[in-house]
Structures are given as C-alpha cells and as structure tokens.
Structure 1
Amino acid sequence: MTIFKGSGVALITPMNADGSVNYDELKALTQWHIDEGTDAIIACGTTGETSTLVDEEHLKVIETVVKQVDGRIPVIAGTGSNDTKHGIYLAVEAEKRGADALLIVTPYYNKATKTSLVKHYEAICSQVELPVILYSVASRTGLNLTPDLVKELIKIPNIKGIKEASGDISQIVAIACLVNDDFALYSGNDDQVLPILSVGGSGVISTIGNIAPKDTSKMVHHYLDGEFEAAKKIQLAQYPLIEAIFSEVNPVPVKKAVGLLKGIETHYRLPLGDPEEATIALLKEKMTNYGLL
C-alpha cells in the first residue's frame, strides 16, 4: 500500500531568536497544512534544517508533529545519518514516537560503496517495522542512488518508496521500470512533479508546499484523476515561484517565504543565515504575482 498519494510537505522548522525550536509555531504550521489539504507531512527533512538539530530536538519535532496531526494524515520522519548506528537510533525512536514512515537519505560525506550502502539500509530496516522511503539527492550527499542500487535496495522488505531528487529524468524512468505499483515514486523537485507522475509517480515531497500547500496537493490529484490540463496549469504557474525559493540554498528562501506569508519572524542556525535583500525582494515579487501576498 502506498504511504501517501499527493503532496507531502517537507516542513520547515520554525525557530526563536535565540535559535531554539519554536514548538508552538510548529504545531500551528502543522495544523495549517492539514487545513490546506496537504496529504502528508515530512518532519526533519533537509528543509527542516535537521543537520543542526541535536537528537533531543530532532525527536521532539517529530513527536510534536505526530501529536498535532493525531492520525489525520501520515507523518514521515527524516532519520537519515552518515553513521549507521546513529541512523538506527533515530529510526527506532521515531517509530516509538508514532511516525508512520521514515525518510532515509543516503549517507553523506563518507559516502559508501554499493555493498556497504545496502548493508547500511538493511541494518536500519531490520530494527523497525515502519515503511521506509529512500532519499536520493546527490547534490547534497555526493551519493547517487542509481537504478542498479535501487534494484538491490528494493529487495529489503520495508523499503516502499523513493524521494528522487537527482533531477535526471532518464534515471527516474529507469527506476520506474524496476518497481511495482506498491512502490511509491515521489518527486523530490518541485519543477518535475508532472514528468514523474507521467511514469507512475505517486506525488511529491515538496518544498513549495510550505507556502502553496493547497495548490500543490490539487496539482497532483488533478493529474491522478486524469485532469491533465488543470494539473499542467498549476505546475507552470508555480515555476517562477519555485525558481525564487531555490535562488539561494534550501531552506533559506522558503523559510523566509513562510515568514512573509504567515507574518512570523524567521530565524536560522548557522551555517545558514538570513537571505540576501535581493532574494527577499524576489520572493515578495513572485509571491505577489502568484497571489500569496
């Protein structure tokens, strides 16, 4: 059974001026996404600045989202690590806290050979019962999940999907040829949702969903319901806004965009910091043009 179909938002992690996590705002944003029709929430993904969260915060963010969602939509917990033992710990603890699935990025920096990568995922998956979504984003990790690797990894029983953010449509098509209807292929790039849906994708794990959740979900469901022109209209309309939210490294612009949209202060943890003034001006322009401001 597919974990979700539609738009899963890779949720930002709101923070206070002192750098602590703003859990009240996290709950408010989670509720807003439910009200706006988001189909799943990804807590502690890349967009959530997870690499700067200590384990206690990481797990509390997941738990806070799970409690706020209260079973209404799936909560997918990001638990990837470049240390297998640490990845096991995060996965087990996320399962205890009620996550519905796990998003596990490939090991970063130290990378891995094909053999050791398979062992890495086998070790984590053997310790949990939750379905696992692979996360392939070589631009961040330096490690690409090629079709040959995916072919081996999908033999692990609880690997049930992939967030594909390589940007390589040919690779994505090759992966689509390897999997069955029970395996979920999610776009990891907001500008490639419809191409991936066209080869059997189930939806998107979205960044733009942080500020346009209703439209992003509608776009996917229009396509899945055969309303291709309606879906295309949204995909093309979102493109200038997508360019704006990726004009600096993610999640810097989109977190600022959430602040502009919701009227809240935005704070980051170093090494991330405030966007350039030109980026803020671009965000305001594109958000206004899209009808968000």
Structure 2
Amino acid sequence: MSEKKFVPVMITPFTLDGRVDYDGLSRLTDFYLAAGAKGLFANCQSSEMFALTEEERLSITRHVVRHVSGAMPVVASGSFGDSLEDKAEFAKRIYQTGINAVIMISGHFAGKKESDEVLISRFAKFFDLTAAIPMGTYECPRPYKRIITPAVFTYLLSTKRVIYHKDTTIVFDKVKVKIDLAKNSRLEFYDACTANTMRSLQAGAKGMSAVSGNFYPEILVWMCDNATRPEKQEEVLYMQEQLTRAEAVIANGYPASSKYFLQKRGLPIERITRNKKIKLKKKNIQALDAMYQTFLGWCDRIGIEPVRL
C-alpha cells in the first residue's frame, strides 16, 4: 500500500505593518512538520500570492526550502508573467530556490472562452521554454478556475513532465476520472476538497492538500494514514462527517480565520492579511473558538495528541 501524504497549502504570516514575518514563517513550517506533513506547497493562494510582489514570492519560497533543508519536498506556483516567455523566466527563477517542482496555475494559460486545444498548445510551448524543470498543475480559483479536463490531463501525463496535481474539481465522480488516469504514472494527485478526503484517498489519490490543514493538520494527516485501513473505517467515516460539517465555519474570513485559529493553538503569528476586505466578525471568532474545542474532542476520539506550541 503506497503512502498517503498531507501537503499543506502554506499561509503567509505578516507583521502588524504588513511585511512578511519570516520568523513566523519558520515557526509555521515547523508546526506543519510536527503535525506530520509530507510536503509543502509554498506560494499558493493560501499564501496570498496574488498580493505578494515577485521578489516576495521568491523570498518566501526560498525561506521555506532552506528551513526544511531537504526534510520534505516543497513545490511552489511559478507561472506568473504577462507572456509565456515571462512565465517561463519566472518559473526558472523560482525553481532555482530549490523547490522540487514548479506549479502551473491552469487559469494562467488560457482565457475562459479559449479551448482545451489552446490550453494544451500553451502548456506545450511552456514546457519547451523551461527545459527539464519538473512541473505540477493547480486549478487555482484565481484568476479564474480552469478545471483541467480528462483530455488535457491525459496530455499532461503523456509529457512525463508533470509530477504533481492539485485538484479543485470538487465533484467526486469527475475527480475520480482523473485519479484513475493518474494511476501507474509518476504524477502525485492531491485533492483540495476536504469533503472528498475519505473517498479520494480510497480511490487512489496520493494525498490531500486542503485549506482545513491550516487549522488542524494533524486530522488531515490521520485521515491520510487511516482512510484505507479496514479496521479504522468507523472512525474515518466519523471524521469525514465532522470535517465536512466544519468547512462552513473555517471558510468564513479565510485566511484570517486560519491565522486566528493557529494563534489560539499557540502559534505566535498575527492574523493580518493583505486583503483589507477580510475581517473576522465577533460571531466568526465565537464560532472558531467553539471549533477549537471541537478539534480537541476529535483528537480525544481518534486517540491523537495535537501538536503543542
């Protein structure tokens, strides 16, 4: 049975004046490691990458790579730029930070109304421009969510350049089609949808890469470790139901909600984000406080110790 992995989509801690908090980023990275993560996705949407400068994108990625010092693989989004040539140049720069793969944001390579054929042709040119750099794909909701269809996914697999895929399709039957296509390939398939955790892992996904792991990564790690174990199915089903129900609470005000929750857990970071529209209301904080107690109850139920900070 192949190892299942939880790969956090890393948030970016900021200081009170809005600068990247690199000490906080180090502590956050250590927290993910202690929780049992088997990889890290830096410079992603949870990192507020669209609100970072180009140099900040490179700097946070480089910092994480140096901090883990080979303890686990790190991937990072790297398809920024106006033209394909610009995107390729940035991909080369971020790959030089030491990451294991450059993640291509699917919405960066074709407009909403452009066909899969156009998307494939641009991926092909991008591959030509980036030599042998290992790649991954991410159906990021921004600039718009471009779902990679089975036809495009089949093409990507055929190139043997793509080793990672973060899927945001959500509809499980459609997710499973791509999981099945990825079997017996070098590509590692990660589902971003917490509600799919149990089914995706049981269907053959390599792991999970969900925002819920920025609240209680230990639970996602436990699910990865136990989803396919016959003797654990009652607890797995219980935890899946709990995780799905909790999504409505943690999604409000994200990623500030995550930063507040991690503060409550003892991580010394601010809940500052660069999106000024995100504000946690009193009712959101009360719901997160209750969620924290619920999380501790989950740990008791499944017999794990939460990471002490």
- Does structure 1 conserve the Cα–Cα contact (< 8 Å) formed by 2:202 and 2:228? no
- Alignment match of 2:188 (pick from 184, 195, 199): 184
Task: Give aligned pairs, total.
Answer: 290
Q: CA deviation at 1:148?
A: 2.1
Give the structure 2 partner of residue 269 of structure 1.
274
Q: TM-score, normalised by structure 1?
A: 0.89
Give the structure 2 partner of residue 281 of structure 1.
286
Q: Mean alpha-carbon deviation: is it higher for 171-180 or for 198-207? A: 171-180
From the superposition, tell whether residues 150 and 82 of structure 1 become closer, same or farther in structure 2 (CA, over 3 Å).
Answer: farther
If you compute each CA radius of gyration, which structure gives the higher value, 1 or 2? 2
Report the Cα distance in structure 2 between the residues aligned to 1:190 and 1:93, rounded to whole angstroms: 32
Q: CA deviation at 1:42?
A: 0.7
Q: CA deviation at 1:63?
A: 0.3
Report the Cα distance in structure 2 between the residues aligned to 1:207 and 1:28, rounded to whole angstroms: 18
Alignment of 1:240-279 (within 5 A): 240-248=245-253, 250-261=254-265, 262-279=267-284
From the superposition, tell whether residues 233 and 139 of structure 1 become closer, same or farther in structure 2 (CA, over 3 Å).
Answer: farther
Give the structure 2 partner of residue 101 of structure 1.
101
Residue 64 of structure 2 is aligned to residue 62 of structure 1: no
Give the structure 1 partner of residue 125 of structure 2.
123
Q: Deviation per CA, 1:192-232, whole angstroms, max 9, x where unpaired? A: 11111122111111212122122211210112455433433
SS in 1 for 2:118: helix
Structure 1 segments unaligned to the other structure (5+ residues)? none
- Does structure 2 conserve the Cα–Cα contact (< 8 Å) formed by 1:79 and 1:102? yes
Report the Cα distance in structure 2 between the residues aligned to 1:274 and 1:85, rounded to whole angstroms: 38
Alignment of 1:81-230 (within 5 A): 81=80, 83=82, 84-108=84-108, 110-111=111-112, 112-126=114-128, 127-137=130-140, 141-182=144-185, 183-226=187-230, 227-230=232-235
Report the Cα distance in structure 2 between the residues aligned to 1:140 and 1:56, rounded to whole angstroms: 20
Q: Mean alpha-carbon deviation: is it higher for 28-37 or for 217-226? A: 217-226
Q: Mean alpha-carbon deviation: is it higher for 260-269 or for 122-131? A: 122-131
Q: CA deviation at 1:32?
A: 1.7
Q: Which amino acid aligns with 1:31?
A: D
Report the Cα distance in structure 2 between the residues aligned to 1:168 and 1:246, rounded to whole angstroms: 18
Q: CA deviation at 1:254?
A: 2.0
How much is the aligned-residue C-alpha RMSD, in angstroms? 2.5
Q: CA deviation at 1:263?
A: 4.6
Report the Cα distance in structure 2 between the residues aligned to 1:145 and 1:188, rounded to whole angstroms: 14
From the superposition, tell whether residues 178 and 99 of structure 1 become closer, same or farther in structure 2 (CA, over 3 Å).
Answer: same
Structure 2 segments unaligned to the other structure (5+ residues)? 297-305
Q: Which amino acid aligns with 2:182?
A: V
- Does structure 1 conserve the Cα–Cα contact (< 8 Å) formed by 2:81 and 2:90? no
Report the Cα distance in structure 2 between the residues aligned to 1:41 and 1:89, rounded to whole angstroms: 23
Give the structure 1 partner of residue 6 of structure 2.
7
Q: Mean alpha-carbon deviation: is it higher for 139-148 or for 203-212? A: 139-148
Report the Cα distance in structure 2 between the residues aligned to 1:44 and 1:19, rounded to whole angstroms: 17
From the superposition, tell whether residues 235 and 278 of structure 1 become closer, same or farther in structure 2 (CA, over 3 Å).
Answer: same
SS in 2 for 1:198: helix
Task: State percent identity of aligned pairs.
Answer: 20
Q: CA deviation at 1:20?
A: 0.9
Q: CA deviation at 1:149?
A: 2.1
From the superposition, tell whether residues 125 and 259 of structure 1 become closer, same or farther in structure 2 (CA, over 3 Å).
Answer: farther
Q: Mean alpha-carbon deviation: is it higher for 223-232 or for 59-68? A: 223-232
Q: Deviation per CA, 1:30-62, whole angstroms, max 9, x where unpaired? A: 012112211111101111100011110000000
From the superposition, tell whether residues 233 and 134 of structure 1 become closer, same or farther in structure 2 (CA, over 3 Å).
Answer: same
